[in-house]
Every structure is written in structure tokens, then in C-alpha cells.
Chain A
Amino acid sequence: MTDKLSKSDAVRTGTAAMVKAEGVHKSFGHVEVLRGIDLEVKQGEVFCLIGPSGSGKSTFLRCINHLEKVNAGRLYVDGELVGYRQKGEKLYELKDSEVALKRRDIGMVFQRFNLFPHMTAAENVIEAPVQVKGVGRAKAKERAMQLLERVGLADKAGNYPSQLSGGQQQRVAIARALAMDPKLMLFDEPTSALDPELVGDVLDVMRDLAESGMTMVVVTHEMGFAREVGDSLVFMDEGVVVESGHPRDVLTDPQHERTQSFLSKVL
């Protein structure tokens, strides 16, 4: 509990924005998925995105590490523009290699885990540090074992993903993302594909991670987790931010009618 308090202090004192969105728009063909998103994720903060499906929350998350290209507006991660370089008034698209370089610092956890099925749990965790950062195999292996230990799966290091349950796969996926020592972690509905029984294990790992001070942006339907662990919460609908604030306030006393009707259905 003291950990949690000290961490909250850090959040309150830290003013640097890890993610900053200014009027972010995104369309797929004629469908406008994001219609002007403005928000700020502070360093060390657990930032929860909730909303009905199709509200654009996952799309926004994917914009943060440039898996989707923003059509209009500006999106910054750690003070740097995502996907572009600005020189005077002009924007220049970043090369693939430059985008890849920035993605190293942003961990991402997917709804469908997306573990590499032809590699064991340990190999999944080792892969990126060795291939991308050029870390030595032995050193990466040691680190991987520590991370698997941290997510409670040290004994499953030699298992292939198909031999693991959904919850175990998702925890390996978290370890895989952490192996790159990211400064920001993105979670795209990390528990939505899991059996209800297995959700708890994954949330425990995420809670542990939040307590260590990691900046996290979490798209989730787990209102309990948002209330308990979240520092900020945003309710999105139809591509816009409807309501934002501290999770306790928004979840218990929603101001906006749309938020009220959504929460009455999910809580």
C-alpha cells in the first residue's frame, strides 16, 4: 500500500506528458473512426480508455505506436511527434527504420496475444532484445527468465504457446513487451479473449506493473481494474472523448448522459 502511495505522489509531481493527442483524426475509407481526440497521459500514470465497441479506443491505441497512420491532428509520445518529423511548417514522413526505432520504447499487448507460435515462451521473450537491440543471447535469456518469473511462468519457459492457456499466453506476451524495457506500455483489451477464471492472473501482473511506476495506456472493459489501478480514465464514444477524469469519479458519478447509459449496462 505504501508503494501505491509513493507512486501516486510521483504522478502528482511529475508533469511531463508521455502521450499527448491534439485533435487526432483517423478514417478508414469513408468511415471516420476518430473525430478529434484531445488527451494527455502523464508519466507514470495508468490511463484507462473505456467505451462501447467501435468507439475508436483500440484505433487510438494503435495510433500511438504508429500501427495506424493519423489523418489529421498531432500525436506526441515523450515529446516527439509520432510518425513524422516537423521542419518549420512542413511534415516529413518517417522512414520505416525510424518508426521501428521509436517502437522499441513502446510495448504493446494485444487482445489476441499474438505470441510467435513457432517459438517457446522463453524464445518469444528473447527474440526482440536479441534481434532488435543486439543483446547477447545468454544475457537476454537470463533477463527473459527473470521476466517470466515476474509474471509467474518461470516453469513454462520451454512451452510453446499452443501448450499454454490464454491467461498464460497473455502473461508471456506482457513479459515479451517488457523485455524491450519500454517507457510506455499499451494494452489493447488484454483480458477480453480470456476465460473469466483467467482474467485475474493477467490483471495481477498489470497491477504489479502499475505499482512499479510504468506508464500504461489500457483499453479495457474491466471497470474494477480501472477504478482500482487507474489514475485517469477516458470514456470514448463514436470517435470522440465524451468524458474524462479520475476513474472513481467518472465510474461512480458520470456526468454525461451517454456515459451513464454505457456504465449502467456494463457495471
Chain B
Amino acid sequence: MTDIDKSAAGEQRTPPAGPEAIKAIPVRHYGRYVTAVIAIALLVAIIYAFSQGQINWHAVPDYFFDDRIMKGVGKTLLLTVLSMLIGIVGGIVLAVMRLSKNPVTSSIAWFYIWFFRGTPVLVQLFLWFNLGLVFEYINLMPFYKDYWSNFMTPLLTALLGLGLNEAAYMAEICRAGLLAVDEGQTEAAHALGMSHSKTLRRIIIPQAMRVIVPPTGNEVINMLKTTSLVAAVQYPELFRFAQDIGQNSGAPVEMYFLAAAWYLIMTSVLSVGQYYIERYYARGSSRQLPPTPWQKVKANVLSLGGPRGAVGA
């Protein structure tokens, strides 16, 4: 199976036996040292300025693992995951509808995307929150009947508001992904007797994922931050809890920094996850898998002194 891999790896490990390898002095990149020094100096200056400001930095570590903050982090993550799930599933469905030959389904998808992409998500959240003004009861005949206000909990409001809005964006991302797959793939699958849905599920979507995943990672990170808006519909999450603590403890600004730090931590963890998902969907697309982040860091650090191409191979 690994004939090609072996020969490629072999070439790299053993230097050519015949002629003597070239030993040249690499080009010196002095510009890199200069810019690095300037960047570090600026960073130090900014950190110093902040440390001298009238900010009670001790409040940040004091509350960093506060129960309410931890609860808020959990709820922010829960909200992100669930609304992205709604967004991704909805997005794929909408994209397929949009590309459908059926003019009714493609028009519905077009209208949905037009509406949900064209209005601010905060407005949509309020809309869901106040939908009780239009529908007094919810009545799913045999299964469930209740007042709308009991049914529409803050969590559900937040999920619908964020998820359905996200679906409109994901639809466009998925559509781009589906269109990026070569038409020959559809033909080959159809020629084998596969149905439209099987072709989509087994052949087209797995290949479209390579195009869909990178912008989706972006959307997840965006979503994580957008969840801070749902305080408006009475669903408490990280930002809301941080605000509350700030008002009670007399360190409001400090709590904003604390929240920012938590958001940064979460988005960093998500970025790592995105990287490995991309690697999974890249299988079969290139002979060698791309380097892991650690390999990249190593290559970049070493390349400060030498030419880029020589390291990391």
C-alpha cells in the first residue's frame, strides 16, 4: 500500500550518495531580527501601560474560577455547540434546497436566506422573545399544549435566534462547498445507479467538507462571541455573569477583561479542534498530510536564521 510513501520518505532521510552535497552559507535575514525586536518592544510598552493604569488586576485572578464564571463558560459553550448544530444541519438542508431542480424548494431557501441574513441577529432574538404577542398558545394537537410564554424559555429563544440566523450563513458556505465538487463525481455516482440523496451523502458532501470546514471554523468562533448577545433575552451566560459580578464587586472593567480572557481561551481551543477536523477531511487529497501545528511552529522558529525551504521538510 505504501510504496509511494516509502520512496518519498527514503529520499528525504538519506542524502544523495553520489555527488558531494552543497554546503553554502545561507542568506542572512537581518530584517527578521529587526522587526522581531520592534514588535517585542511595542508589546512590552503596551503591557507596561496597562499595568500602570487604574485597574485592579487582582480582581481578575480572584474571580477567574468563580462558580458563576464557570457556570457562564459552560452555558456559553452549550449555546455555541447547540446553535452551531442547528446552523450546520439547517445550512446543509438549505444549500441542498437552494441547488435543487425543484423551483419551489429553491425559492423557499432563497427567501429564508434573504430574510435571516438581511436582519440583525439581535433583532431576530427579540422577535423570538416576543412572539408570544402573535401566538398566545402553542398547540401541537395530541402531543403538547401550553402558553407560548411557558414554551418559549430563554434557552429556546436563544437557540432559535442564533441557530436559525446561523443556518442562513452556513447555507451559503455549504452551497459554495457543494459547487466546488467536480461534476464528474455526480455523474460517476449516478452512472453506478446511486440515487440523488445517496450521491449527496456518500460522494458530494464528504468532498464538499474540505471547502466547508475552514469557513465553518470561523463561524463557530464568531458564534461563541455572538452568544454574548443573548443576555438581551434573559439567558445568562459568561458575559452576563461577568457583568453581574462586576456590578456587585465594584470591579466592572476588570470583569470585562476576565470575560475577554475566557473568550480567548475558548476560541483558541476551538481553533485547535478545527485544525484536526480539516486534516481528517483532507485525506486522499494530497500525498502527504500537512504538518501539525507543532511542526509548523518548529519550522517557523528555526527559519528565523535560515532560508524557509530548508527547514521543516
A interface list, Cβ under 8 A from B: 65, 67, 96-97, 100-104, 106-108, 110, 112, 114-120, 127-128, 131-132, 155-163, 173, 176-177, 180
In the complex the two chains form, is A157's CB within 8 Å of B285's CB? no
In the complex the two chains form, is B202's CB within 8 Å of A163's CB? no
Residues of B within 8 A of A108 (CB): 188, 191
In the complex the two chains form, is A119's CB within 8 Å of B190's CB? no
Number of interface residues of B (CB under 8 A): 27
Shortest beta-carbon distance, A104 to chain B, in Å?
4
A-B contact list, 30 entries, CB within 8 Å: A67-B191, A97-B195, A100-B190, A100-B194, A100-B195, A103-B190, A104-B193, A108-B191, A114-B182, A114-B188, A116-B185, A117-B207, A117-B285, A118-B281, A118-B283, A118-B285, A119-B284, A127-B202, A128-B192, A131-B198, A131-B202, A157-B1, A158-B1, A160-B284, A162-B284, A162-B286, A173-B188, A176-B192, A177-B191, A180-B192
Option from A103, A110, A156 in Cβ contact (under 8 Å) with B193? A103
Residues of B within 8 A of A104 (CB): 192-193
In the complex the two chains form, is B284's CB within 8 Å of A118's CB? yes
Nearest B residue (CB) for A117: B284
Residues of B within 8 A of A119 (CB): 284
Interface presence of B266 (CB below 8 A)? no
Residues of B within 8 A of A115 (CB): 188
Interface presence of B4 (CB below 8 A)? yes
In the complex the two chains form, is B193's CB within 8 Å of A180's CB? yes
Interface presence of B58 (CB below 8 A)? no
Residues of A within 8 A of B59 (CB): none
Residues of A within 8 A of B286 (CB): 162
In the complex the two chains form, is B287's CB within 8 Å of A118's CB? no
In the complex the two chains form, is A161's CB within 8 Å of B196's CB? no
In the complex the two chains form, is B1's CB within 8 Å of A114's CB? no
Option from B187, B192, B195 in Cβ contact (under 8 Å) with A127? B192
Interface presence of B231 (CB below 8 A)? no
Residues of B within 8 A of A155 (CB): 1, 3
**Given A100-B193, A103-B192; A132-B198 close (CB under 8 Å):** yes
A192 to B303, CA, bound (A): 44
Option from A102, A110, A161 in Cβ contact (under 8 Å) with B184? A110
A128 to B188, CA, bound (A): 10
Interface presence of B214 (CB below 8 A)? no
Interface presence of B70 (CB below 8 A)? no
Additional 17 contacts, C-beta under 8 A, given A96-B196, A119-B284, A132-B194: A67-B190, A100-B194, A103-B193, A107-B191, A114-B184, A115-B188, A118-B207, A118-B281, A118-B283, A120-B284, A128-B192, A128-B193, A131-B194, A155-B1, A156-B1, A161-B284, A162-B287
Q: Which of B181-212 contact A (CB under 8 A)?
A: 182, 184-185, 187-196, 198, 202-203, 206-207
Residues of A within 8 A of B182 (CB): 114
Shortest beta-carbon distance, A172 to chain B, in Å?
12
Residues of A within 8 A of B185 (CB): 114, 116
* Chain B CB within 10 Å, residue with most, of A97, A100, A110, A158: A100
**Given A127-B202, A162-B286; A110-B192 close (CB under 8 Å):** no
Nearest A residue (CB) for B4: A163
Shortest beta-carbon distance, B133 to chain A, in Å?
44
Residues of B within 8 A of A117 (CB): 207, 284-285
* Chain A CB within 10 Å, residue with most, of B182, B188, B286: B188
Nearest B residue (CB) for A96: B196
Shortest beta-carbon distance, B8 to chain A, in Å?
10
Shortest beta-carbon distance, A120 to chain B, in Å?
8
**Given A114-B185, A118-B206; A103-B287 close (CB under 8 Å):** no
A258 to B297, CA, bound (A): 65
A5 to B196, CA, bound (A): 43
Nearest B residue (CB) for A66: B190
Residues of A within 8 A of B281 (CB): 118
A114 to B204, CA, bound (A): 12
0 or 1 for each of B280-306: is its CB under 8 Å from A? (1 = yes): 010111110000000000000000000
A120 to B283, CA, bound (A): 10
A117 to B208, CA, bound (A): 12
Shortest beta-carbon distance, B212 to chain A, in Å?
13
A159 to B286, CA, bound (A): 12
Shortest beta-carbon distance, B215 to chain A, in Å?
19
In the complex the two chains form, is A103's CB within 8 Å of B203's CB? no
* Chain A CB within 10 Å, residue with most, of B189, B281, B284: B284
A55 to B187, CA, bound (A): 21
Shortest beta-carbon distance, B137 to chain A, in Å?
41
In the complex the two chains form, is A114's CB within 8 Å of B192's CB? no
A157 to B3, CA, bound (A): 12
Nearest A residue (CB) for B209: A118
Nearest 10 CB-CB pairs, A to B? A104-B193, A158-B1, A114-B188, A160-B284, A128-B192, A108-B191, A114-B184, A103-B193, A132-B193, A118-B284
Shortest beta-carbon distance, B10 to chain A, in Å?
16
Option from B184, B187, B287 in Cβ contact (under 8 Å) with A163? B287
